[in-house]
A and B are shown apart, each in its own frame.
Chain A
Amino acid sequence: MTSASEGARSSGAQESRHAALDTLMRAAQAGDRQAYHALLQEVALRMRRLIASRAPWLGQADVEDIVQDVLLSLHMARATWDPSRPFMPWIAAIARNRLTDHARRYKRRQSFDQAASDLAEAFSTTSGHCHAEGVVNLMSVRHAMSDLSPGERRAFELVRMREMSLAEAAATEDSTVGAIKVAVHRASRKLKKAINRDGEETR
């Protein structure tokens, strides 16, 4: 068989799969719960595949989070689908919207991770710069962050990670400059100790 006819066959198969989705969605709008169940499963499957190929670094929980978000959005918007139009472009627009939103949040989280990793490097007294050590240090910071008191953690986040001034952090936290300064200092000391301790342990 020639590749052209193979291509034609696969595009034909895809068209019929898309038409099947149109039929399911039409039935779902009419109140057919089974059709709706099948449709949601199919969308979940496709979304999982899409996310896995676009963002292979995401963990299982994150992927499921996005899939569920898309399903909920589909559910809430299901009256906006015009049965005379194809289903795929409609769900693709919704999925794109939800993915962009997640990417924005992911980026924010990533910049937080970057700040934590910079910190780990800055605090580490060990001389090694290999990747493995960086990872260990990053993990240590994250681990050590959970040992801080809530006040220390907030103060540290505001001043060191979001780069607020002491006065701004004090205003945000409804506290005094002195108290914030002490909290940041204590947090830094604890983190530094934790990183050095973990560094010793892994050596």
Chain B
Amino acid sequence: MKTDALIDSLAREAGPVRPLASPLRRLGGWLAIALGFALAMVWAIGPRPDLAERLLEARFLLEQGAALVTAITAALAALALTMPDAARFWRWLPVIPGAAWLGTLGLGCLRDWAQMGPAGLRITPDPECFVYIALIGSLPLLVLVLMLRKGAPLRPSWTLALAALAAAAIGNFALRLFHTQDAALMVLVWQVGAVALIAAIAGLCGRQVLRWPGVPA
């Protein structure tokens, strides 16, 4: 096809388009759905019996806060990266809250060790964490992927990895509201480990899931 003919046909078929809302506004929509679903799952499974007590504990609030902010910044970064002229720094947005999350858990490990000695750092298998995180993160991830596909994912691997990080961090946030596991090392290995694994797998599938501009190479 000649380029002029292509221009003619593109111009002919082009109707008005509504510019996509800003990433921040779209983030609001996603967060409402993701948190709504996550909290509904917590309610369905049954919150942990000591939840009221935990909610008064600074350490628990700090860890949960860091997980939530990591989720929010990762989702915002993923949405921003589907705008072609987005600055490169967006992809690093979740680094600080992510580091804070790891930092609070790392400090938690030290405290557990100081209080309980080697018993505080015991690792026992807890594979259901992965299942719950994946389960609770599934709908938020699906919704976010659908939102990302409306944009132009020029950097598909980064975008999908950030989206999965956001969804899995929401999953982890909800998990800790019903799963009575607070040993920092256990949370670090089984829960944050699951979140990182899910994000890494998603990063590898980025090109397949968020193919852009949608025509095969």
Which residues of chain A have C-beta atoms less than 8 A from B50's C-beta?
none
Knowing A36-B11, A68-B3, A76-B152 are in contact, say whether A82-B19 is a contact too (CB < 8 A). Answer: yes
Knowing A76-B213, A79-B17, A79-B18 are in contact, say whether A37-B84 is a contact too (CB < 8 A). Answer: no
**B85 in contact (CB, < 8 A):** yes
Partner of A93, one of B12, B20, B154: B154
CA distance A97 to B217 in the complex (A): 13
CB distance B152 to A94 under 8 Å?
yes
Which residues of chain B have C-beta atoms less than 8 A from A36's C-beta?
10-11, 14
**A7 in contact (CB, < 8 A):** no
Q: Per DSSP, are chain A's interface residues mostly helix, strand or loop, or mixed?
A: helix
CB distance B1 to A90 under 8 Å?
no
Partner of A79, one of B2, B19, B212, B217: B19
Interface residues of B in 138-190 (CB under 8 A from A): 150-152, 154
Digitize B91-129: 1 where CB-to-A-CB distance is under 8 Å, 0 elsewhere. 000000000000000000000000000000000000000
**A29 in contact (CB, < 8 A):** yes
Q: Give chain B nearest CB distance to A155 CB in angstroms.
A: 25
Q: Give chain A nearest CB distance to B6 CB in angstroms.
A: 5
Q: Give chain A nearest CB distance to B204 CB in angstroms.
A: 18
Chain B: residues with Cβ within 8 Å of the partner, total of: 30
Q: Give chain A nearest CB distance to B130 CB in angstroms.
A: 34
CA distance A47 to B34 in the complex (A): 42
Which residues of chain B have C-beta atoms less than 8 A from A72's C-beta?
6, 10, 213, 215
Which residues of chain A have C-beta atoms less than 8 A from B197's C-beta?
none
Digitize B193-217: 1 where CB-to-A-CB distance is under 8 Å, 0 elsewhere. 0000000000000000000111101
A interface residues (Cβ-Cβ under 8 A, vs B): 28-31, 33-34, 36-37, 40-41, 44, 64, 67-69, 71-73, 75-83, 85, 89-90, 92-94, 97-98, 101, 105
B interface residues (Cβ-Cβ under 8 A, vs A): 1-3, 6-8, 10-12, 14-20, 22, 82-85, 150-152, 154, 212-215, 217
Provide 26 A-B residue pairs closer than 8 Å at the C-beta atoms, listed in order of the A residue.
Answer: A29-B16, A29-B17, A40-B10, A41-B7, A64-B3, A68-B1, A71-B7, A72-B10, A72-B213, A72-B215, A73-B212, A77-B84, A78-B17, A79-B17, A79-B20, A80-B19, A81-B19, A81-B84, A82-B20, A82-B22, A93-B154, A94-B152, A97-B84, A97-B154, A98-B213, A101-B217
